Structure 1
Amino acid sequence: MSQASHSRTANRPFPALRVMALCLFVPLAACQTGTGQQLTALDTAEGSTENIASLSAVIQRSPNDPAAYNVRGSAYGKAGRYDAALADFDRALQINPNYYQAWANRGLIKRLKGDRTGALADYNRAISINQSYDAAYIGRGNLYRDLNRTQAAFQDYEQAIRLDTTDARAYYNRGLLYQQQGQHNYAIEDFASAISLQNDAPAPYNGRGLSYLAQGDEDNAFADFNQAIKLDNEVAESWANQALIYERRGDSARARKSYLQATKLDPSYAPAREGLRRVTS
């Protein structure tokens, strides 16, 4: 799908929150499935010790280059070293206060650390500097979702899409909002757009599969859940979703096996535990 066709999916209706959820359409075991996974801008491979060391060497050669600090800060973030990341973003912004990428990156790290007020201020600053910076809208939209400000989150994802973003997160997260409202046709389109932009992540396949299931399309749902497992077989939600299809088809043995795998990967994952109880009772 081209960027142009992606951008035409904006301007869809999104009503105020209604009492409607996926739970009205599928068993309880699936209601929470697909909501915990997220596409992320953080790639842990880029936060390797070797990569950080090479970036530090760049900073030694160019100690007043804000881009160098911004890149190393991102690497620290990807490695989970949030305090070091914040220090680098702070330094980048000291050198160049209009470096909007560093504002948005610092907002992401603050959000991950639980500083929502600080994160919102940083995202707002990034957008005030560059109103066409799609990543800042997506990041702020994710923060708004954390704050249950659903309408504001939708508007930010919508703006990123209007800007012809190639970031799959905008479509994936907007798809989750449509799914939450029971607008599964729109959700399926958005998950498909996310897949076309990032086809190696299980999250949009799980999301699309749930919307297919809500529409009674069990075969396409099953195909998506299986693809999610193929892409990453260590995601509990994917196994629980697959198990749900087996359970609905009356194949308790396969359902039990998949639910067991999900509980091994995440013993706290309620849909897997509840499903396992159902098929072993």
Structure 2
Amino acid sequence: MNRIPAFLIVAASAIALSACQATDPASVISIDRAQGAEGNIASLTQVINNNPNDAEAYNVRGSAYGRAGDFSKALKDFNTALKLNPNFYQAYANRALIYRGMGDLAAASNDYNKALQINPRYDVAYIGRGNMYREAGQLNNAFNDYQRAIDLDTTDPRAYNNRGLIYQKRGQHNQAIEDFSKSISLSPSAPLPYNNRGLSYLALGDEENAFTDINKALQLDKNIAEAWVNQGLIYERRGDKTKARNAYARAAQLDPKYQPAQDGLSRVR
């Protein structure tokens, strides 16, 4: 197995840390899939007007507002849903996402805890609370929540991808690869697990599989700065400074504050 030069190990470690601690904006507004069906807000409003005591209708419209980034209206709808049905555990978990998006982690934690008190087998709440813990750097708590969801036979790919990020952060790359692979099997069109698995392959010196996965991630979404940096790392390792520079430059264009991109550019200029 080829050894990775020291500067690549340092760079890859920095990327792994960034991947593990960064907040995925999509995760903040991604509402429980079972309760947050897409729909036209106007038509959902009409449903509510026809039946103003329908807690589910408020919950679904709150989900739609959350996806649209209108957190104040989403919060109002979830509050109404919970007033109509105080045991609506899905609405608690959905409202927790809104609180997370607003930066009120204490309120989000309370809502996740309330959802799990009502339904201790609700995998979505474990995953959501785990994401909140992971973003706060409480990796052991996050790992335990992802594990609980997995023990409940969740089919949500986030549980495996995000547990894989913690394995990756701990340097347990074989376990991370298994989790990323499971996440991919559950959602083959999601780009981030490919990128994450590629990084673990790279850490283990498996350049070919790493390159394949990272390119797959970019094929699915060309706007992932981290994936461009990872591609640049491999080109740099191969001595192709031109392609490495192009990859780092693309990453820097997408995210000018992404330090691994700037570091890569400084090395290959």
Scaled by the length of structure 2, the TM-score of the pair is 0.90
| Aligned partner of 2:27 among 40, 43, 47 | 40
Cα distance in 2, alignment partners of residues 133 and 229 from structure 1: 33
Cα distance in 2, alignment partners of residues 161 and 178 from structure 1: 15
Q: Which residue of 1 aligns with 2:177?
A: 188
How far the C-alpha of 1:222 sits from its partner, in A, is: 0.5
How far the C-alpha of 1:33 sits from its partner, in A, is: 2.6
Q: 1:228 to 1:37 in 2, by over 3 A?
A: farther
How far the C-alpha of 1:53 sits from its partner, in A, is: 1.6
| Aligned partner of 1:73 among 62, 78, 91 | 62
May I ask how many residue pairs the two structures share in their alignment?
A: 256
Q: 1:122 to 1:198 in 2, by over 3 A?
A: same
Instruction: Report Cα offsets for 1:214-253 as digits up to 9, x if no partner.
Output: 1000110001110010000011111111111000100001
Cα distance in 1, alignment partners of residues 151 and 7 from structure 2: 31
Cα distance in 1, alignment partners of residues 182 and 8 from structure 2: 24
Q: Which residue of 2 aligns with 1:30?
A: 12
Matched residue SS, 1:120: helix
Q: Which residue of 1 aligns with 2:147?
A: 158
Instruction: Report Cα offsets for 1:80-126 as digits up to 9, x if no partner.
Output: 11111111100000000000000001111101111011010000000
Matched residue SS, 1:254: helix
Return 5+ residue gaps in structure 1 as ranges. 1-22
8 Å Cα contact 2:44-2:61 kept in structure 1: yes
Q: Which residue of 1 aligns with 2:217?
A: 228
Cα distance in 1, alignment partners of residues 207 and 183 from structure 2: 21
Give the counterpart letter for 1:69 in structure 2: Y
Q: 1:167 to 1:129 in 2, by over 3 A?
A: same
Q: Which residue of 2 aligns with 1:247?
A: 236
Q: Which residue of 1 aligns with 2:188?
A: 199
8 Å Cα contact 1:110-1:116 kept in structure 2: yes
Identity across the alignment (%): 57
Instruction: Report Cα offsets for 1:192-227 as digits up to 9, x if no partner.
Output: 011111121221111101110110001100011100
8 Å Cα contact 2:9-2:203 kept in structure 1: no
Q: Which residue of 2 aligns with 1:130?
A: 119
How far the C-alpha of 1:26 sits from its partner, in A, is: 4.0
Matched residue SS, 1:200: coil
8 Å Cα contact 1:206-1:224 kept in structure 2: yes
Instruction: Report Cα offsets for 1:149-194 as digits up to 9, x if no partner.
Output: 2111111100100111111110011001111111111000000011
Q: Which has the higher relative contact order, 1 or 2, with Cα contacts under 8 A spaced 6 or more apart? A: 1
Cα distance in 2, alignment partners of residues 254 and 59 from structure 1: 55
| Aligned partner of 1:116 among 105, 113, 128 | 105
8 Å Cα contact 2:28-2:100 kept in structure 1: no
Over the residues paired in the alignment, what is the CA RMSD in angstroms?
2.1
Cα distance in 1, alignment partners of residues 41 and 175 from structure 2: 41
Cα distance in 2, alignment partners of residues 135 and 238 from structure 1: 27
Q: Which residue of 2 aligns with 1:278?
A: 267
How far the C-alpha of 1:56 sits from its partner, in A, is: 1.3
How far the C-alpha of 1:65 sits from its partner, in A, is: 0.5
Q: Which residue of 2 aligns with 1:213?
A: 202
Q: Which residue of 1 aligns with 2:84?
A: 95
2:240 is the counterpart of 1:258: no
Stretch of structure 1 that moved more, 158-167 or 195-204: 195-204
